[in-house]
Amino acid sequence: VSLPSQPSIYELLPKYGLPSGLLPDSVINYTLSEGGDFEVNLEKPCYLEFQYLVYYEKTITGKLSVGSITKLKGIKVQRFFFLWFEVDEIRVDLPPSGSIYFTVGIIDKQLDVDQFMEVRSCRSKNRSPQVIFSL
């Protein structure tokens, strides 16, 4: 008897209404509880550049539900003179509106969801000389 294989994290995110490209292509494994608590493990910490620069720690945790990731730990954005801030929550409108929202502290930043549709390769070093996430 073979057990059904677990879908990849990139297949799982769209089932919750979230874009596959929220995470880099370096995910080696993940766990997801029935209650939605998850842990994602990357090969190593890395950076991705969207409309802003994002840092991914080696381990990312949070709570996955339809349209959102809450209690998020392990993803940071760069803003204000090269300071890094934890992303606390990621959510999309239901039904989809073409926007995605990142909560950083008390601030919500609305972005175009299209930039997160494709899974991208991340780099191990921050090479961005400018601040690209402004609130």
pLDDT in tens, 37-55: 999 999 999 999 988 899 9
How far is Cα 49 from Cα 29, in angstroms, rounded to an integer?
Answer: 22
Cα–Cα distance between 90 and 70 in angstroms, integer?
7
The residue extents of the domains of the chain are: 9-116
Residue range 17-26: average pLDDT?
96
Q: Which residue in this structure is represented by tokens 């990139």?
A: 10
The per-residue pLDDT for range 75-95, each reduced to its tens digit, is 999 887 778 999 999 999 989
CA dihedral sign of residues 33, 40, 116, 68: positive
Residue with tokens 């840092």: 55
Higher pLDDT, 135 or 124: 124
**pTM of structure:** 0.86
Give the angle 112-118-119 at the CA atoms, nearest 5°: 125
